[in-house]
Amino acid sequence: MTRLTGTTMAQDAPGRLLLVLLLALAAAAMPAGLRAGQGTGEPLQGTISVWAMGDEAMRLPELARRFEAEHPGTRIRVQAIPWTGAHQRLLTSVAGNVTPDVAQLGTTWVPEFAAMDSLLPLEQYLEGSDISLEDFFEGSAETAYFEGRIVSIPWYVDTRVFFYRTDLAEEAGWDHFPRTWEELEQFGADLTLDRTGDGRIDQYAFQLPTRGEQELFGFIRQAGADLLDSETMEVLADTPEMTEALAFYQSLFLNNYTPWQDIAALGPHQSMARGLFVSFISGPWFVGIFEREVPQLAGRWAVAPLPGHHRESSFLGGSNMAIFRGTRNPDLAWAFVEFLARPEVQLQWYREVGNLPASRAAWEDPSLGGDERWDVFRRQLEVAEPPPPVEFYKAIEDLLQNQQETLILSRRDPAEVTGNLAAGLERLVSLRRTEEGNLAPIVQTILWLLWPLGAALALVAFFKRRQIAGLGRYKTPFFFLLPILLHLGVFLVGPIFASLLLSFTNFDIYSLGSWESTSFIGIDNYRLLLSDPLVGRALINTFYFVGIGGPLTIGVALALALALNSAVLPQKGFFRTGIFLPVVTPLVAVAVVWRWIYAPRDGILNYLLGLVGLPEFGWLADPNLAMPSIIAMSVWKNAGFSMVIFLAGLQAIPRNVYEASDIDGASRWQTFLYITLPMLRPTLVFVIIITTIGYMQFFAEPFIMTDQGGPEHRTLSIVLLLYQEAFDFFNIGYASAIAYTLCVIIAAISIIQIRFARGEEYS
Amino acid sequence: MSLAPSPPVSTPARAAVRQRVREREPRFGWRTRERLFGVVLATVMLIVVSAMIGPFIWMFVTSLKTADQIIETPPTLIPRPATLQHFARLFDELAFLRIFLNSLIVTTSITAVSLFFNSLGGYTFAKFNFPYKNLLFMALILTMMVPMQVTMLPAFLLLKELGLLNTYLGLILPAMSSVFGIFLMRQFIYSIPDSLIESGRLDGCSELRIFWSIILPQCRPALAALGIFTFMAAWQDFLFPLIILHDESMYTLPVALATLSGQHATDWGLLMAGSLVVILPIATVFMFMQRRFVAGITLTGMK
């Protein structure tokens, strides 16, 4: 593997004029030199910062205090990073070279950050240490490596097992959970029941995801199939075993042993408690959830290892601890990482937050060993495997999920899906960067060209000084706009210009490792996106959303504003506030409620429709209904926003105009058509343009409602796509190209809108 | 916009109608229809508003439920027993006062400063003429079409270079003015009669004085709307503060709340309690500001 590594040195940025672009590149090029600081025998001292994720970080300070007590004079500053957005936060901090000393990294993130050359290799520290990678579960130890180097230390692990209802299984004569695929099939046939005899299944044997690569990964490995060899980068997916795994997974759906969509509103345990399905696959965190949230089920559920086929396997995940190259105190950083890996500390961590120790020795403790459930997890961990440790794993994840969806929702032939999967993997491998880039000399050339350009401008200004002096009468607008234009120029136009330039480069994670590897690639990104089927799909979806959702939102908002402006409506303050509430309600809360409304089986909407005898609809899970469902939700959420603007606009219409029309005996409709609407025109123009621009960039709704754009990409929007490219895969160049394509489209639409509006506005 | 007084109406019938309008007294006949319309309208609005408030109520109820009550199907309306444990956790695990102050400082600064600059910009574009005005304005509108997702990284690097990472100023400065705000204010300032500005100039007001004392009071409804939008956006912003603020003591409310969530398990009660804490200040601001929607131009536009 010939990726450019190691040779990065502090680059002297050759100028400051293309400030932002240069910063993006130069910052990435300046990781602190590798430090060889192994055991000088001096006592540890100083301070390090540790980034940990989510609620786990809330408990980590307790361990840090214990460490500090062992090493007086040291200080561990733990920063909690929300899981949501943790990836962006880490990526930007690497880009800006403001990394912490130590960070918790999800096991599948390790290769990515190692590929950016941002992690400190740890072999030399491990040599003289009490801990060794052999202390950990085999699969867990594998996640410590990237390209043969040890770049992280396992912290905690998780794996996937089956959770199932023992009472329902026993009722059908099963005293154990299936151990093989054949048994699993039989279990499916025995436990999938139509109890009420109305032709509708009331009890499914399983609940398996249509987009869940971790569950699918288990089946793939059990069949003996694999994705790719992370050392040789050889794609191994195109095998009969892969087809076998996919066919088996598909058959569970085709036989209706599992529902075709996620039918639970708030997590599978509640539906399982009600007997809607007998089993599902999940991780260790669900043990606590079961105990806390469905106590009535105690003694009637259990966990079981995933059934084997040609071999046994499951997905292995978890988190590792890594030291960033930028650290100023590698000795202390290592001491802390080492401390966290000690069996007794791992055990303490398990007791406090319930995360499973990666260290095998910790499992010898009676608090873990005695429990039957943890025994299942332990057995599963012995055979569980991490996915291939490659820096583009996020893209593989996405590929797997997409193929999984076509396999199930489109009932595609498994052999064909195998082919697509292999082809997709080949493409991802081919995208890896291997040669020197040409961006650095080009940027330097541009910088040199800026001098004559500046000189030319100065010359023009000199010869046109008379005309410039004549501009004195525009003094007021000039000084009014000056601060604003300066501000927008720096904070808006600057970044826009930088990202526009980036759209002509192949800026990606490799650029963060060494920016010399970045190339100016002309319009290649734009050419690529023309042939990207996802871009086409996302464009269609976006137009669908804007075309239907835009007018609907504006119409509803206008109607509401008119009603609120009507003289006869009492309690206006109450109504105004009520209608505005959805606008302020955070989307996470909105999403929960609307998922409940749309849930296919227990959902409020289907319940109401059932009362009038209508069948069950899939709503968000149905490829054809997903977008209308999203639109309905968006109208509900956003109408209040435009309504406020309309209200303000309606207030600008003088009362006497209405009185005049009243006197003339105009009907309500005539008043609206001939007085309100024309007078409201500037407001209407504004709302239409803003709504179009905002809706063309819609993103949050599918992001949280439909698992990032499903089903089958029917709710994938352009901005969601570019967000995934930018922050999941860090293809900043390509993402920027998508953004500017979208920008041109919106601009075209807006210009048409403004043309139509012009007459009145400028008169 | 017509500023001339309405021409005198001579027909007796019209005069009678006008009389009723003037008096604003409910009468039988014509007024009954008006009242009926009011009742129908209020009923329809009541239905609409309950649909709007429904999820909010659910959120409130959920924040008071214990974990096992929350996932009950069908959901119950009354929490039994009601618990304050989720709110207690918010205050226990977060340095709540500090975080709330962080959010308050950043949000109010952004709102105050940007209202001034945006209305100044809107006024300039609406009421002044200068070369390339429309071109410049179109260029600004064009910038709105660039999704912030791609400009975020360069903006972050810029703030880093300016030494503004992990500071209030790093959040406030980029939001000092916005194209959205300038555009909104421009559309409203259009409808303010030029004669008002002219009379100000004749009275010898300075240009800034005209803006401050004549224009600003005229666009209170728009300022109220923009103020609410700005406050709301800044108060709820998550991604930008997340990457700018590197120190937990600087976290704003949405960022701090998000740290309480686990990777896999979602504590719904905590999430809803947190959401409520985020919403309440905005809802309060809205309730106060919305009264402004009915003030302003109504009186002065027809003087």
Average pLDDT on B156-185 reads 93
Dihedrals phi, psi of A356, to nearest 5 degrees: -75, 130
Same domain, B202 and B279: yes
- For helices A550-565 and A626-651, give the axis angle rounded to 10 degrees: 40
Q: Say if B38 falls within a structural domain.
A: yes
Enumerate residues 74 to 133 of chain B having a beta carbon within 8 A of any beta carbon in chain A.
74-75, 93, 117, 120-121, 123-124, 128-131, 133
* Minimal C-alpha gap between B265 and chain A (Å): 7
Cα dist from A342 to A130, A240, A346, A357, A361, whole Å? 9, 43, 6, 10, 9
**Residue range A527-762, CATH number:** 1.10.3720.10
Q: Which of A116, A123, A119 is nearest to A105 (CA)?
A: A119
The domain spans of chain A are 19-32+44-158+317-383, 161-315+393-411, 527-762
Lowest mean pLDDT among A158-172, A606-620, B170-184, B193-207: A606-620
Number of domain units in chain B: 2
The sign one gets for the Cα dihedral A381, A387, A389, A394 is negative
Q: Which of B144, B201, B203 is nearest to A488 (CA)?
A: B144
**How much is the pLDDT for A762?**
45
> Measured between CB atoms, does B52 come within 8 Å of chain A?
yes
**How much is the pLDDT for A616?**
82
The C-alpha atoms of residue A540 and residue A538 are separated, in whole angstroms, by: 5
Q: At A247, which amino acid appears?
A: A
Same domain, B105 and B24: no
Mutation target to probe the A interface, by most A beta carbons within 10 A, among B43, B259, B294, B299 is B259
> Measured between CB atoms, does B212 come within 8 Å of chain A?
no
For chain B, report the end-to-end CA distance as a whole number of angstroms. Answer: 12
**How much is the pLDDT for B74?**
67
Last residue of a domain, one of B20, B47, B63: B63
* Minimal C-alpha gap between B268 and chain A (Å): 9
β-bridge pairing A74-81 and A46-53: parallel
Same domain, B276 and B159: yes
The C-alpha atoms of residue A39 and residue A89 are separated, in whole angstroms, by: 32
Counted residue by residue, chain A has a size of 763
Structure tokens at A568: 């006869």
Please name the residues in contact with A314: beta carbons below 8 A apart, sequence gap of 6 or more.
A159, A160, A161, A218, A221, A305, A306, A380, A383, A384, A385
Q: Say if B3 falls within a structural domain.
A: no
Contact between B68 and A496 using a beta-carbon 8 Å cutoff: no
Enumerate residues 351 to 410 of chain A having a beta carbon within 8 A of any beta carbon in chain B.
none
Contact between A478 and B130 using a beta-carbon 8 Å cutoff: yes
Domain A161-315+393-411 has CATH 3.30.420.40: no
β-bridge pairing A161-165 and A153-159: unpaired
Answer whether A19-32+44-158+317-383 and A527-762 agree in fold. Answer: no
- The ipTM value here is 0.83
Same domain, B53 and B158: no
CATH number of B134's domain: 1.10.3720.10
Tell whether the model's pLDDT for residue B25 goes beyond 60.
no
Name residue A319's beta-bridge partners: A106, A156
3-state secondary structure of A280: strand
Dihedrals phi, psi of A196, to nearest 5 degrees: -90, -10
Dihedrals phi, psi of A712, to nearest 5 degrees: 50, 40
- Please, are residues A368 and A362 in contact by the beta-carbon 8 Å criterion? yes
The C-alpha atoms of residue A421 and residue A434 are separated, in whole angstroms, by: 23
Same domain, B119 and B46: no
Residue contacts between A and B (CB atoms, under 8 Å): 370
Same domain, B139 and B252: yes
Q: Could you list the mean pLDDT of each consecutive 10-residue stretch along chain A, which spans 763 residues?
A: 35 41 44 40 84 87 93 92 88 90 94 92 90 91 92 94 95 93 95 87 91 92 93 92 96 93 73 89 89 87 94 94 94 94 91 88 80 89 93 91 92 95 92 74 80 88 79 84 92 90 87 79 88 91 94 95 83 85 82 82 81 85 90 92 90 78 80 85 89 90 81 90 88 91 88 71 43
Please name the residues in contact with A523: beta carbons below 8 A apart, sequence gap of 6 or more.
A504
3-state secondary structure of A332: helix
Contact between B150 and A746 using a beta-carbon 8 Å cutoff: no
3-state secondary structure of A619: helix
CB contacts of B260 in chain A (<8 Å) are: 54-55, 58
pLDDT tens-digit map of B38-75: 888 888 888 888 888 888 888 888 889 887 787 776 66
Tell whether the model's pLDDT for residue B22 goes beyond 60.
no
Contact between B121 and A57 using a beta-carbon 8 Å cutoff: no
Contact between A602 and B144 using a beta-carbon 8 Å cutoff: no
**How much is the pLDDT for B41?**
86
Enumerate residues 491 to 510 of chain A having a beta carbon within 8 A of any beta carbon in chain B.
491-496, 498-499, 502
Q: Say if B146 falls within a structural domain.
A: yes
Helix or strand (DSSP H, E) at A400? helix A393-408
Domain A19-32+44-158+317-383 has CATH 1.20.950.20: no
Find the domain containing B36 and state its range. Answer: 12-63
Q: Say if B74 falls within a structural domain.
A: no
> Measured between CB atoms, does A536 come within 8 Å of chain B?
no
Contact between B261 and A55 using a beta-carbon 8 Å cutoff: yes
> Measured between CB atoms, does B176 come within 8 Å of chain A?
yes
CB contacts of B142 in chain A (<8 Å) are: 743, 747
Q: How many CB atoms lie within 10 A of CB A232?
A: 9
pLDDT tens-digit map of B69-104: 877 766 677 887 888 988 998 888 888 899 999 999
- Please, are residues B53 and A583 in contact by the beta-carbon 8 Å criterion? no
3-state secondary structure A547-612: HHHHHHHHHHHHHHHHHHHCCCCCCHHHHHHHHHHHHHCCHHHHHHHHHHHHCCCCCHHHHHHHHC
**How much is the pLDDT for A758?**
64
Same domain, B20 and B104: no
* Minimal C-alpha gap between B126 and chain A (Å): 9
Same domain, B126 and B29: no
Find the CB nearest A80 among B41, B117, B259. B259
Burial of B202 (0-12, 13-18, 19+ CB in 10 A): exposed
Contact between A682 and B131 using a beta-carbon 8 Å cutoff: no
Contact between A656 and B161 using a beta-carbon 8 Å cutoff: no
**How much is the pLDDT for A472?**
76
